[in-house]
Structure 1
Amino acid sequence: MITSPESVESREDLAAFVQALRRSHAEEGGAWENADLPSFLDALSAWIGDADGWYRSTGI
């Protein structure tokens, strides 16, 4: 099971990770920092926009 973005290495892994996110939200969505879909998508968009910087700063 894919449980972290670092373990995504293929399109299939990404699909599995998104499904894991869906299950996690269904079980404990209230505990998420971005508990509703619009705020989650805003945060995801911001992370994608800065992904190059994140990878550079982590050395990946």
Structure 2
Amino acid sequence: MTLDDIDKITTKDDFACFVEKLRDHLQQSPEEWENVTLESFLEAMEAWVRDIDGYIANSGDKDAVNPSWRTFAKVLQAASIYE
């Protein structure tokens, strides 16, 4: 899986592999990232989520219409304490 394979993510393992590739990309090419600190990354994530209706309207991305936000929240919460 590569970062370009985001549309192929269907399982938790696919998602985990994507997160791994995202982390690898940050480590190898931080100059390509706008948000290299956790604080700025989370701030950007918050802003994007708040503007998701605009993203859906502009992109037509039907997958973004009914995501499981609870799942995403659990992932983020777990990541804050998981060793």
Q: Which amino acid letter does the alignment assign opposite residue 3 of structure 2? A: T
How many aligned residue pairs are there? 60
Calculate the TM-score normalised by the size of structure 2: 0.55
Confirm or deny: 8 A CA contact 1:2 1:13 kept in the other structure: no
SS of residue matched to 1:35: coil
1:24 aligns with 2:25: yes
Normalised TM-score (structure 1): 0.69
Correspondences of 1:29-40 after superposition (within 5 Å) = 29-40=30-41
2:54 maps to 53
Structure 2: runs of 5 or more not aligned: 62-83
Distance 1:39 1:51 in 2: 18
Identity percentage of aligned residues: 35
Moved more, 19-28 or 6-15: 6-15
Gaps in structure 1 of 5+ consecutive residues: none
Which consecutive segments of 4 or more residues in structure 1 shift more than 4 A?
Answer: none
Report the secondary structure of 1:43's partner residue.
helix
Higher RCO structure (Cα 8 Å, ≥6 apart):
1
